[in-house]
């Protein structure tokens, strides 16, 4: 199974999604990027996803995309949905 960010909305690819080609999460298990819940295994999945993001050369592009798209779920650019909501509030 191919991992993220293969699942990104590819219709935008010709515009500004070319950064996904260099994503560190390509080929990784997409489930760790969508932890369910706020405890136990979900925290381990979140930590694993953030660890991959920490070494990703397109992290900034990914976070910018997620903030602009209002991505409501998943780990993007090393952030959780809650962290992105806080970032959006701080920049408003």
Binding site as annotated, residues for [4Fe-4S] cluster? 25, 53, 56, 62
State which of positions 15-74 bind ligand SF4 (CB under 6 A). Answer: 23-25, 52-53, 56, 58-59, 62
- How many C-beta neighbours within 10 Å does residue 54 have? 10
Q: Which is nearer to ligand SF4, 4 or 84 (CB)?
A: 4
Q: Which is nearer to ligand SF4, 22 or 41 (CB)?
A: 22
- Please name the residues in contact with 28: beta carbons below 8 A apart, sequence gap of 6 or more: 3, 4, 52
Tokens 């998943």 identify what position? 74
- Give the closest residue to 8 by CA, choosing from 68, 87, 52: 68
Residues that bind ligand SF4 (CB under 6 A): 4-5, 23-25, 52-53, 56, 58-59, 62, 75-78
């Amino acid at each position: 199974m191919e991992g993220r960010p293969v699942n990104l909305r590819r219709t935008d690819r010709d515009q500004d999604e070319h950064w996904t080609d260099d994503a560190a999460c390509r080929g990784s298990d997409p489930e760790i990027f969508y932890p369910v819940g706020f405890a136990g295994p979900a925290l381990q999945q979140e930590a694993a996803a953030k660890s991959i993001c920490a070494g990703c050369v397109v992290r900034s592009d990914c976070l910018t995309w997620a903030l602009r798209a209002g991505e409501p779920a998943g780990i993007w650019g090393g952030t959780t949905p809650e962290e992105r909501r806080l970032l959006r509030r701080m920049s408003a």
